[in-house]
Amino acid sequence: MIAFDTEFLWERTYAPRLGLIQVADLDNVWLIDPVALSKREMRPLIDVLVSPDSLKVAHAIDQDQMCLHHSYGIVAKPVLDTSIAAALLGMGDQIGLSNLLDRLLRVSIDKGYSRTNWLKRPLPTKMLEYAAEDVRHLTKAAGILCEKLRKRGREEWALDLSTKVGEFAKAHFEPESLARRIALARRMETTTFGVFKELISWREREASRRDIPRRWLAEDKLLVKLASARPTSAKQLEDFRGLGISKRPGSAARVLRAIRRGMRTPPKGYVRPRRRNSPTPKESAALVVLRCFLNALAADNGLPLRLLVDNDHMVELLRGQFKNIESLRDSGILNPRVVDLVGEDLVAILNGQRGLRLVNGVATQLES
């Protein structure tokens, strides 16, 4: 088991700039300087980070994985995110590292240098000590978490969720993946998606070329509006506030070309999602009750509600008319692990066989 962390700057640039990589096992801590070392010189560490022979451990790993993918084209694997592990053990959703170490090991670490310049050289001793503390105790903490997860049958669940963070990190700088994720959530029609995809590609190229945050060029919601309106002239573009091109020669022309490309080229493999029916007034009232039950189930099982079910699927649960756990499992609405965990309770709730009562301010289930 190997713990790792990264320190970087990402306030005024397109992508994160790595300033330090920390690695630790149970006995040692290493601080690696990615500013001084070339990609070739970093190869031995990269090989370790992707080796199947060791479990890589990090806390709140999403930005660390983004740094590795953008800088070296890899994400660490296999991996365990200790914040996810803690959430699966009922220790709180998105618990901070200092709180986690205090609860597991009675160790206190200083977080005073979290927003400092990690690219300056030489790094002061205090900053190096701070960086080392971020990983010094992490393998021991992860060992405790893994043992607790095994006892509850949730270790594979934690590893699967941690792996998905790496997949999200890889998609963060891929224009098509970015565009599809946003488009599917908004249920864009095909032509609008084609234009939106080209606008996302334009923004990524331009932001990368100028090395500025993508939001300085345009927020996602502005590109959605442009994809729907499809302006045809620089004059019309001026009506869209927040588009960072006004003083850049040729920028308006590049945006307009992207819009035209999107209109001419139908996107491949894109199917507009079916619009979900909004809940009726009676269903809205029932959803309030269902959410109360789901919150109670989540609390009983020591999980955040989001790991049981997301908001988009609650209406589907309400309308499903599930008579048994097999029909709930076959629907694919819930993660199979969630069905194993709370499926019987949920079927009973959906069929009016359970109630809720308050006892000393705590919601408890009541057999009907």
Residue 270 has pLDDT above 80, yes or no: yes
Residue 220 has pLDDT above 80, yes or no: yes
Q: Do both 203 and 167 map to the same domain?
A: no
Mean pLDDT computed over 233-245? 89
Mean pLDDT computed over 124-152? 96
Q: Do both 44 and 86 map to the same domain?
A: yes
Residue 276 has pLDDT above 70, yes or no: no
Q: Do both 229 and 142 map to the same domain?
A: no
Q: Which residues lie below 8 Å from residue 49, measured CB to CB, with a gap of 6+?
A: 4, 56, 68, 74, 76, 77
Domain membership of residue 340 (yes or no) is yes
Q: What is d(CA 105, CA 81) in angstroms, rounded to the nearest whole number?
A: 17
Mean pLDDT computed over 160-184? 92
pLDDT digits (tens, 9 = 90+) for 11-53: 999 999 999 999 999 999 999 999 999 999 999 999 999 999 9
What's the pLDDT band for 362 if we cut at 50, 70, 90?
A: confident
Q: What is the CATH number of the domain that holds 346?
A: 1.10.150
Residue 277 has pLDDT above 80, yes or no: no
Q: What is the CATH number of the domain that holds 155?
A: 3.30.420.10
Taking a C-beta distance cutoff of 8 angstroms, is the pair 95, 107 a contact?
Answer: no
Strands 354-359 and 17-24, by their bridges, are unpaired
Strands 29-32 and 56-58, by their bridges, are unpaired
Q: Do both 231 and 357 map to the same domain?
A: no
Q: Do both 27 and 135 map to the same domain?
A: yes
Give the end of a domain, one of 264, 299, 325. 264
Task: Identify the pLDDT of residue 367.
Answer: 76
Task: Identify the pLDDT of residue 296.
Answer: 92
Q: Do both 22 and 164 map to the same domain?
A: yes
Mean pLDDT computed over 80-102? 96
pLDDT digits (tens, 9 = 90+) for 294-310: 999 999 999 999 999 98
Average pLDDT, the chain: 93
